Amino acid sequence: MGRRRLGRRWSTQRWRRHDGRHPRRPRHRKRPRRHLRLTSGLVEVRLAVKETLTCGLRTPIVGFTMAGFRVRCLRVGRTRGASELAVRDADLAKRAGSALVAADERVRVAVDDLGFAEAELGSDATTQLRETLVEVRTHLNDAFRLHRLNHDPMPGSVDEVRARNLRIVQLCESAEDELERHTTALADRARRVRRAPEIVAAVRADLERLRARIPSAGDTLDRLAARYAREAIARVDGNPAEADRLIKFAEHSVAVAEVRHAAGHREQASVALEASTTSVQRAVSLLDAVETFEVEALRAEAMLVALVEECRRDLAAALEEPRSRRVADVVGELQAALAAIPQAGVDTDPFAHLSRLREARATLVAAIAAARERATDLIPLVDHVHHAIRDADRQLDVARDAIAAHPGWISPEALTRLAESEHARIDLGHFLGGSMAVITTTDQDHRQQVIAMAQRVASLASESLRRARHDIEALRRHGRPLGSRSRAGSLADERRIAG
């Protein structure tokens, strides 16, 4: 019988022929669209995971395509940072090379300047520049050595090369600064030597003007001596005489400079000329101090009058502030400072009185502020004091009752603390004067001290009670009923247990 095509029927397992054989699968079967989407998504996930593992990252992937994009951004950022660092290192290397060239050229110029200065001023005037050149050359040798290390076939790591370049720049800049400072000073000195005749003429003119100011300074001192105390003008009393001595010394130095310059000894002439100019400047400052002192003394007197009025207002306000021992002491000091001020125009020292009043007034302001702060704080009241004393008595009574109820059971340490507490309570009674009513009339410091003493009594009593309870519990654990032994036997057993 020839083969005939049988019909198909639906099965819950699969498609089957009526004869039980599987149907032939078609060669080309089109996959569903959703399967294609899932396949593309898996490919994207694999690509993202591959790129993530290649970069050595361990970050979780959120999404398919965004994970790969995130990895690529990080890779680009790292590359950009490395390139910027390489550019900075290249700029630093160029800067180090330029600094080496500039420092070497500056040394050459300084050597030329040294030769000219020695010919014009002498060898003694160029000693510092010569020593500086030796030190600078040592530093430059170190810089060239570091430069050679950077250009070796194996210069080391990038950090080492960068550190060497930074050190080269630092050495070259410090060398140029030192040479610039010494050569500038030497150039100024050589300029003064060249202008020696002009400087001599200027110094002589200054000496004439200063000599004319000395009598005026003496008259100013006479006026100051008639108005102020000798202690006040002591710092300017000898200024005219000192200025006259400096003027004479400057005249002598100028004469020596002229003689040495004419003889061709320019170095010696320069030294004498510098001494004369220094003396003139010092004399000018002394005479100016005399004139300035008179103005400063008048200003101090005006300020003293205003400060006296302010201190008197502060004293009046201090009487309305909370009473305190510190405020009372400071008020007394300020009143004494005010009483020590003499009348205006009489032998006085306005500077000393002004400083004394300022100090006393500042101390009073600080004391008043402290008193106000204490008044606004939680100040212990009388009820607090009574409560502290009652608490101390209660603790002491409890300790006494506990120890008295167990004779022979208590250790010497507990008895010692009880005795100390009783003695502290006796001291507290003596401090109070034997009456609790005294507390109401005492100040805040007294109340705080009473509270501190009461707290000590309570602390000692509590310590005694704690030790007594410990002793009682220790003996009860060893089967010692109350009253079973005498005091001596109990103490001996306790020492044996403790040992």
**Pair 212, 170 in one domain:** no
Q: Are residues 410 and 464 in the same domain?
A: yes
Asked, for residue 1, whether it belongs to a domain, the answer is no
Tell me if 337 is assigned to some domain: yes
Q: What's the structural domain count of the chain?
A: 4
Indicate the residue among 272, 293, 314 that finishes a domain. 293
* Helix 382-404, helix 412-432: angle, nearest 10: 150
Q: Both 171 and 95 in a single domain?
A: yes
Q: How far apart are CA 396 and CA 47, in angstroms?
A: 85
The CATH number that applies at residue 176 is 1.20.140
200 shares its domain with 190: no
Residue 245, token pair as written in the block: 């001595």
Same domain, 182 and 201: no
Residue numbers of the domain that contains 460? 382-498
Q: Are 345 and 449 in a shared domain?
A: no
Beta bridge partners of 348: 228
Which two structure tokens, joined as six digits, stand for 485? 């032994």
How confident is the model at residue 70, as a pLDDT?
Answer: 44
Does residue 237 sit within a domain?
yes
Q: How far apart, in whole angstroms, are the C-alpha atoms of residue 113 and residue 185?
A: 12
pLDDT score at 481:
46
Please indicate, yes or no, whether residues 411 and 443 belong to a single structural domain of this protein: yes
Task: Show pLDDT as tens, one digit a residue, over the chain (499 residues).
Answer: 444 444 444 444 444 444 555 555 555 555 444 443 434 443 343 433 344 334 443 334 334 344 444 444 444 455 666 678 788 888 888 999 899 999 999 999 999 888 888 877 777 778 888 899 999 999 999 999 998 998 888 888 888 988 999 999 999 999 999 999 988 888 887 787 777 788 888 888 999 999 999 998 888 888 888 888 888 888 888 888 999 999 999 999 888 888 887 877 777 787 888 889 899 999 999 999 988 888 888 888 888 888 888 888 888 888 777 667 788 888 888 888 888 887 665 677 888 888 888 888 888 888 888 777 766 654 556 677 888 888 888 888 888 888 888 888 888 888 998 889 888 888 888 888 755 544 544 456 677 788 888 889 999 989 988 888 888 888 888 755 444 444 444 444 444 434 3
The Cα 318–Cα 445 span in angstroms is: 19
Residue 79 has what pLDDT?
62
Q: Which of 365, 347, 358 is nearest to 307 (CA)?
A: 358
- Read off the amino acid at residue 255: A
Domain endpoint, select from 169, 194, 219: 194
Final residue belonging to a domain, choices 343, 376, 409: 376
Q: Indicate whether 89 and 180 sit together in one domain.
A: yes
| Any domain includes 239 | yes
Is 54 inside a domain boundary? no
Q: Is residue 310 part of a domain?
A: yes
Do 387 and 426 fall into the same domain? yes
Which pLDDT value is given to residue 273? 85
pLDDT score of 297:
85
Does residue 416 sit in the same domain as residue 332?
Answer: no
8, part of any domain: no
Closest CA to 216 of 281, 278, 286, 277: 286
Instruction: Clarify whether residues 267 and 288 are in a common domain.
Output: yes
Q: Are residues 308 and 285 in the same domain?
A: no
Cβ atoms 327, 371 nearer than 8 A: yes
Answer whether 0.85 is exceeded by the pTM.
Answer: no
Task: Supply φ then ψ for residue 228, to 5 degrees.
Answer: -115, 165
Tokens of 142: 């170190």
Sequence-distant contacts of 11-19: CB under 8 A, at least 24 apart? none
Say if CB 412 and CB 494 are below 8 A apart. Answer: no
Distances (CA, A) of 465 to 148, 277, 455: 84, 88, 15
- Structural domain includes residue 25: no
The C-alpha R_g of the chain, in whole angstroms, comes to 50
